[in-house]
Chains A and B, each alone.
Chain A
């Protein structure tokens, strides 16, 4: 931990590069697509903190992401605070949801947590569909603030997402290398043994669900400004559910690098596919690849690399 300085420096360097790219005023599609891929880096990393490190599968990623988005919508409509406040609020609310679901189900078996998250998305979507203030089923138009840096709000959001992606990866890396990460590995391998070796398993599990939820909410909060029209079907899209799983599982779940690899590879592939084949077909392919990897190469690309290296 004494050398914790240099990852932070690399992170800052990445953000600087991001800002440089933003100032280029390149093809706007670059920023749209870049935003999506960076968003997926955050989502995949967040999922992996609970799924890869602790072994608890969250099928309800859309619920946390959308909760961040809708928290932002609520605040935009009522108080209109600056973006950082929106993001913090989104993160905190989603983090609380993670804590709540965790507290209710994590003292039982892991499969009940997963089943609860599966049902959670459906329920939350129902709530948002019925809540007129944030648009209900018809949706709500969201007006971007004026005078953004770089002259273009999407470009601005792009840099925000660069910073968020760096933040998420640094958080994941920090957890992974700390006693928390080692404790999570132990409880993933054998929860009963971990508890008997002094690992405070319940506390660590709740920590993981809360941090995971928090990051997902952070990622969702800028979403209303990005799409300018928020409605439940896109906020709760199935894409998030399957990609949040597929990207870490295909990239590799044991380290922070895996979700990044998965997000970049799958995210770019899907961006390409949406313009060539239908977005639904590309989603289907993601599903098939996911199942393929889970059956044949469960340790993901990272695992394949490790095997090739002969370790």
Chain B
């Protein structure tokens, strides 16, 4: 775990009597393309919420870039470089697309060197430049997903967590998003991808962890995981 960018160590999370995560441990290396899969309700989004700081954990530790961030509030984790996109896009509806990016640039990226890469450049790279001065209400589904990613990029992530960014998109749109994520990774950003679209996860990930019912049941390369009988059982039942 010593060279991991993100180390989740024995994390447990309860909601009342329900055990959502049971001593889950994962380690993500810097620059890695990491996939997180599992059936619905297995705890993927809960784990992400714990890593991003939206939820407090009941046990275990989270270490990022050598720092224990277990009790750090979410906005400070973002400033350290953990950035997530949301499954259901949450744009700032009263602002234009450009202004939406202004928020993470001002807050998350503040002080970590915006490098002169400004909001318009991010929009151009992702293909939203034409809509820069529109409100989010005027965007299509895939454009909203792209806005989520663009906003995440504006936060200058070291670790980007993409939470089901491709759900419900057409095949061509999935490839579009996939290309963006691969490009980001090529620039040095570590990426955790949560997806149900298997071909995307298989193509993208260097390593995959599988969750089921709040526990880690498998880990390995895409090929290893796909051939793992425990994984098959989790998805298809017995």
Contacts and interface: CB of A to CB of B under 8 A. Distances in A.
B102 interface: yes
B52 A196 contact: yes
A255 to B, nearest CB: 12
Interface string B48-79: 00001110000000000000000001111011
B62 to A, nearest CB: 15
A199 B52 contact: no
A200 interface: yes
Given A182-B103, A183-B107, A192-B54, A198 B79 contact: yes
B102 A198 contact: no
Interface string B167-178: 000000000000
B184 interface: no
B103 A190 contact: no
B97 interface: no
Contact of B92 (A179, A194, A195): A194
A193 B90 contact: yes
A189 interface: yes
Interface string A195-219: 1111111100000000000000000
Nearest to B54: A192
A190 B155 CA distance: 16
Contact of B102 (A182, A188, A190, A193): A182
Chain B interface residue number, banded: 20 to 34
Interface residues of chain A: helix, strand, loop or mixed (majority): helix
Given A183-B103, A186-B103, A192-B54, A198 B94 contact: no
Given A183-B107, A185-B95, A189-B95, A201 B75 contact: yes
A254 interface: yes
Given A194-B103, A202-B73, A188 B94 contact: yes
Given A196-B74, A197-B155, A189 B94 contact: yes
A192 B90 contact: yes
Contacts of A197: 75, 78, 103-104, 107-108, 151, 155
B84 A199 contact: no
Contact of B104 (A190, A198, A201): A198
A194 B106 CA distance: 11
B103 A199 contact: yes
B75 A199 contact: yes
A185 B106 CA distance: 13
Given A182-B103, A197-B103, A199-B103, A190 B92 contact: yes
A186 B155 CA distance: 14
B107 A198 contact: yes
Interface in A136-187: 179, 182-183, 185-186
Contact of B78 (A188, A190, A198): A198
A198 B110 contact: yes
A189 B92 CA distance: 5
Contacts of A199: 75, 103, 107
A198 B90 contact: no
B47 interface: no
B93 interface: yes
B109 interface: yes
A196 B91 CA distance: 12
A195 to B, nearest CB: 5
Contacts of B74: 195-196
A196 B49 CA distance: 10
A131 B218 CA distance: 68
B89 to A, nearest CB: 9
In the complex, the 4 A-B pairs of residues with the closest C-beta atoms, listed nearest first: A198-B108, A198-B107, A193-B90, A189-B92
11 contacts: A182-B106, A186-B95, A188-B94, A190-B90, A195-B73, A196-B78, A196-B83, A196-B86, A198-B103, A198-B110, A198-B155
Given A182-B102, A189-B93, A202-B73, 6 more contacts: A179-B107, A182-B103, A183-B103, A189-B94, A196-B74, A197-B107
